[in-house]
Chain A
Amino acid sequence: MSAVTAEHDHDDHHHDDHAHGPEKGWLRWVVTTNHKDIGTLYLVFALAMFFVGGTMAMIIRAELFEPGMQFVDPQFFNSMTTMHALVMVFGAVMPAFVGLANWMVPMMIGAPDMALPRMNNMSFWLLVAGILLLASTLFMEGGAPAGGWTLYPPLVLQTGKALPFAIFSVHLLGISSIMGAINIVATILNMRAPAMSLMKMPMFVWTWLITGFLLIAIMPVFAGAVTMLLTDKFFHTSFFDAAGGGDPVLYQHIFWFFGHPEVYVMILPTFGVASTIIPVFARKPLFGYSSMVYATAAIAFLAFIVWAHHMFTVGMPISGELYFMYATMLIAIPTGVKVFNWTATMWKGAMTFETPMLFSISFVVLFTLGGFTGLMMSIAPADFQYHDSYFIVAHFHYTLVPASIFMIMAAGYYWMPKWTGHMYNEKIGQLHFWLSAISVNILFFPQHFLGLAGMPRRIPDYAIQFSDWNMISSIGGFIFGASQLLFLYIVVDTIKGGTGEKVTDEVWEDAHKHGLEWTLPSPVPYHTFSTPPTVIPCDHD
């Protein structure tokens, strides 16, 4: 770590801030319009939901520890797989990235706040309302939804009292996401400091601009799909009922038109965080900045034209199978560009291995592994063998846990000193990293073998030959789950003062060359950039 630099001019432009400090008392958090407050709310909420969803995962792994029925009944087990997915996707990963966007985008582009601060408040509280509705279904007659997070009819229509609550929860989460995305897109397009041209924006901002576009395009599609579920169940429509001329497969098409871009909503900001952290600790500018931008845009475009690779075994015409197979394989090209760029950024860099960098390097390796298994399944005839097996479970967990979740945590370690003004405990951080990185592989790697051996997903019991790898996977799961308590400890400890070390404004050596946020004081004042900065760090040309 390095000395304080004296060049920054932040003291000049926050002289009028004292007039508008935060509200007093707890009400501050309810009525706030401040992007940093709302970012904090999102991040704290996401962390809480990470542990709620994680508890569900622990229940799943406990039940699967041995063959036979141990702890829960099958209906509840299925509720757990369904709710684990919904809570993690809509309650943990997406809100965490919105929280990071709220905190960082205005600071990265030199804006005083988000473009639409009141709507920012509303998107957060709608998220809480949506998750409350979803969580309430756990306590209803007939149990929480248990047909999988994809909510396929006709199975999902057998849900008990929970069905309308789950559907309305999707509506609220959708409105929340659309509002959040509109806000981020408007902020990026309208609030940049004059010197911040589009191609000077940090990669994290670029990935969020494109993610915001994806969200605005797909959340209404999901809302439409679940609305038709609602009318099929309660208002006699026949959208997904062949007797009336409808088609249950239609739901799958609509769902995955939403669902495939949705997985990129969770991975593009992940790429953005990696592209932010790796250059700082490699002490080199990001390799191939403009190709990163174009690759992100290409991935977003492809996201809309590959959805039916989730449905290879549903009985599509052969021309559909072939088209979706080849289109899906194309995604490997822009993704490969990104992986090579990160690697090239590290090549011959003066690297140090602080916790955020450790997480980032393991992200590059493990995400690539998850990408390769995706490529395997894009081959339609091969997918007939893996479909709905533990292979797919292993695949998407590799792209979500050691990718999205790891990079959210890396972002936490990377920016927490800036947010709080305190340094986290590096030793515990590294312990957290090694425990997580090793256990996540013990947890998910054996699931590839289970899937290839034929173990179906979403089952509470299994044939005896799957016992060993399931037990190993569960042990990895318990270690991984327990390790995350270290992260909770670090977050709380850092907020309360961390190591006691006073962090400099740039925190990481020469970080001010990489982003505007490091030119601001640590901790960041309540309001920043009431006048736009004139000098833009530009490390990527």
Chain B
Amino acid sequence: MSTNNAYYIPHKATWPVMATAGLLTTLVGFANYLNGSSIGSPLMMLGFAIFIVMVAGWFTLQSTESESGMYNHGVGISYRMGMMWFIFSEVMFFAVFFGTLWYTRNLSVPWLGGEGAKAATKAILWTNYTAVWPTNGPGNVGGHFEPMGAFGLPFINTLLLLSSGVTCTWAHHGLLAKKRDQLIKGLIATVSLGFLFVLCQAFEYHEAYTEMGLTLGSGIYGSTFFMLTGFHGFHVCVGAIILSVVLFRSAKGHFTPENHFAFEAAAWYWHFVDVVWLGLFVFVYLM
């Protein structure tokens, strides 16, 4: 990586326009699907296909440029700042759902049960409701359900994700020490643990839906449970896909101890997803 050349500024960009087209088509398709229109699903698939092609193309372009030494130190810092601020925006996104869980558990559900100044709520609207957690509300929305315990699959998933964080760091050490073998093995382990996590979560969801009566429609408990764990699971998938790309590039001989932004970005993202899971495990499953 050269540090003397000028800051690299591309002179035209076609992938961003394609990314926009892909996103717009997907969302127009999804909105039509939700409205019950038959063109919804095909449009969504088309948009998603455009998006996949775009991701492949844009990633390839970036890695080619990076490997040919077009990015100087300054570009590397911009990319790192970009990734850090992106992760900060993700933190705020998850904060909404954690905040929702906190607000409903500690404020609105007790209010429904008549706590504090809200005695009239219970007396007039919901005389038979006693505030407890977990709850599906005074309307018993979604019918009877069992809450998800912490020490089954969720605990195994905690172990899986925590060890994937360790293997990811081990791979990073391999990269810095120019041990290509350790880098690749570490990444294979990380990606495998990541997908194993998603698989376990799929089993957990299946069990919830088929045996425990716990669905997205199970009142506020089901809503917060699936929204938090679902968005987290989606982020695990995205992180695992990004790490797979990094693995693929590592196998092709990309990255040096000085120039490996893609690896760092993927690793930061992975650790972020890991930390979110710890929050989930404590606030959604344990407490």
- B is a partner of A: yes
Binding site for B on A (CB under 8 A): 20, 23, 30-33, 112-113, 115-119, 121-122, 125-126, 128-129, 132-133, 161, 164-165, 168, 171-172, 175, 178, 181-183, 185-187, 189-191, 216-221, 223-225, 228, 230-231, 234-239, 241-247, 249-250, 253-254, 317-318, 530
How many residues of chain B are within 8 Å of chain A by beta carbon? Answer: 67
A242 and B20 within 8 A (CB): no
- B219 interfacial by beta-carbon distance below 8 Å: yes
Q: Which residues of B contact A249 (CB under 8 A)?
A: 108
Residues from chain B with Cβ under 8 Å of A33 in the complex? 9-13
Are A221 and B95 interface neighbours, CB within 8 A? yes
B103 to A, closest residue via Cβ? A250
Check B30 against A178 for contact (C-beta < 8 Å): no
B129 nearest CB across to chain A (Å):
9
- Whether A133 touches B24, Cβ cut-off 8 Å, given contacts A236-B142, A246-B223, is yes
State the Cβ distance, A214 to closest chain B Cβ, in Å: 11
Cα separation A113 to B9 with both chains bound (whole Å):
7
Tell whether B215 is near chain A: CB-to-CB under 8 Å: yes
Task: For A133, give its contact among B7, B27, B88, B92 (CB under 8 Å).
Answer: B27
**CB-contacts of B14-50 with A (<8 A):** 14-17, 19-20, 23-24, 27-28, 30-31, 34-35
Docked-complex contact B77 and A190, CB < 8 angstroms = yes
CA distance A219 to B96 in the complex (A): 11
Given A165-B28, A172-B27, 7 additional A-B pairs, CB 8 A: A164-B35, A172-B24, A187-B78, A236-B216, A238-B220, A245-B135, A317-B117
In the docked arrangement, what's the CA distance between A168 and B29, Å? 11
| B58–chain A nearest beta-carbon distance, Å | 8
* B residues 70-119 in Cβ contact with A at 8 Å: 74, 77-79, 81-82, 85-86, 88-90, 92-93, 95-97, 99-100, 103-104, 107-109, 111-112, 116-117
**Residue ID in chain B nearest A187 by CB atoms:** B78
Q: Can you list 12 residue pairs at the A/B interface with Cβ under 8 Å? A: A30-B17, A112-B6, A112-B7, A112-B9, A168-B31, A187-B78, A191-B78, A224-B97, A235-B217, A237-B226, A238-B223, A241-B141
B239 at the interface (CB under 8 A from A): no
Which residues of A sit under 8 angstroms from B77, Cβ to Cβ? 190
Contact A253 B82 (CB under 8 A): no
Please report the C-alpha to C-alpha distance between residue A119 and residue B85 in the assembled complex, in whole angstroms.
14
Assess the B13–A238 pair: CB atoms within 8 A: no
The answer to whether A119 and B93 have CB atoms under 8 Å apart is no
CB-based contact B96/A220 at 8 Å: yes
Q: Is B186 in the interface zone, CB < 8 Å from A? A: no
Known: A246-B223, A247-B108. A133 touches B81 (CB 8 A): no
Do residues A117 and B89 form an inter-chain contact, with CB atoms below 8 A? no
The digit string for B122-146, where 1 denotes a CB below 8 A from any CB of A, is 0001000000000111110110000
Interface membership of B227, Cβ < 8 A? yes
What 1/0 flags go to B177-215 for Cβ under 8 Å of A? 000000000000000000000000000000000000001
Are B135 and A117 within 8 A (Cβ)?
A: no
Given A20-B11, A190-B77, A216-B88, residue A116 in contact with residue B104 (CB < 8 A): no
| Main SS at interface, chain B | helix
> What 6 A-B pairs are tightest by C-beta distance, nearest first?
A243-B139, A224-B96, A245-B137, A236-B217, A245-B220, A122-B16
Given A112-B7, A115-B82, A250-B138 contact (CB < 8 Å): no
For the complex, what is the distance from the CA of A171 to the CA of B217, rounded to whole Å? 23
Mostly, the A contact residues are helix
Q: Determine the chain B residues whose CB is within 8 A of the CB of A244 once the complex forms.
A: 136-137, 139, 141-142, 219-220, 223
Distance A474 CA – B99 CA, assembled complex (angstroms): 43
Are A219 and B89 CB-contacts (below 8 A) given A113-B9, A245-B220, A246-B220? yes
B221 within 8 Å of A (CB atoms): yes
Which B residues lie at the A interface, using CB under 8 A? Answer: 6-7, 9-17, 19-20, 23-24, 27-28, 30-31, 34-35, 74, 77-79, 81-82, 85-86, 88-90, 92-93, 95-97, 99-100, 103-104, 107-109, 111-112, 116-117, 125, 135-139, 141-142, 215-217, 219-224, 226-227
B108 contact set on A, CB distance < 8 A: 242, 245-247, 249-250
Of A190, A235, A245, A318, which contacts B109 at CB under 8 A?
Answer: A245
Q: For A189, list chain B residues within 8 Å (CB).
A: 81
Asked if A31 contacts B137 (CB within 8 A), the reply is no
Q: A133-B24, A164-B30 are in contact. Are A220 and B74 (CB under 8 A)?
A: no
Interface pair B223/A31, CB less than 8 Å apart: no
| Contact present for A242 and B112 (CB under 8 Å) | yes
Cβ–Cβ contact B137 & A133, under 8 A: no
Residue from B23, B27, B100, B215 within 8 A of A254 (CB atoms)? B100
Residues of chain B within 8 A of A220, CB atoms compared:
89-90, 92-93, 96
Say whether B34 contacts A234, CB under 8 Å: yes
Name the distance in Å between A83's Cβ and chain B's nearest Cβ. Answer: 17
CA distance A235 to B223 in the complex (A): 9
Per the bound structure, the CA–CA distance linking A51 and B226 in Å amounts to 43
- What is the CA–CA distance of A123 and B165 in the complex, to the nearest angstrom? 32
Q: How far is the CA of A318 from the CA of B117 in the complex (A)?
A: 9
Cβ contact within 8 Å between B81 and A185? yes
Instruction: Give the docked Cα–Cα distance between A301 and B208 (Å).
Output: 42
Q: Are B222 and A122 in contact (CB under 8 A)?
A: no
B82, B142, B222, B224 — most chain A CB neighbours (10 Å): B82
Residues on B with beta carbons closer than 8 Å to the beta carbon of A237: 216-217, 222-223, 226-227
When chains A and B are docked, how far (Å) is the Cα of A129 from the Cα of B99? 30
Closest B residue to A234 by CB, please name it. Answer: B34
Contacts of A530 in B (CB 8 A): 6
Kindly provide the distance from the CB of B193 to the nearest chain A CB, expressed in whole angstroms. 27
- Output the least CB separation between B8 and chain A (Å): 9
Asked if residues B13 and A118 are in contact (CB atoms below 8 Å), the reply is: yes
Nearest neighbor of A32 in chain B, beta-carbon distance: B12
Name the residue in A112, A183, A216, A246 with the highest tally of chain B Cβ atoms < 10 Å from its Cβ.
Answer: A246
CA distance A128 to B31 in the complex (A): 18
User: Closest residue to A232 on the B side, CB-wise?
Assistant: B223
Task: Using known A-B contacts A121-B17, A220-B96, A249-B108, determine if residue A238 contacts B24 with beta carbons closer than 8 Å.
Answer: no
Give the shortest distance, in Å, between B6 (CB) and chain A (any CB). 6
Q: Do the beta carbons of A125 and B219 come within 8 Å of each other?
A: no
**Cβ–Cβ < 8 Å partners of B85 in chain A:** 181-182, 185-186, 216
> What's the least CB distance linking A510 to chain B, in Å?
31
What CA separation (Å) do A234 and B217 show in the bound complex? Answer: 10
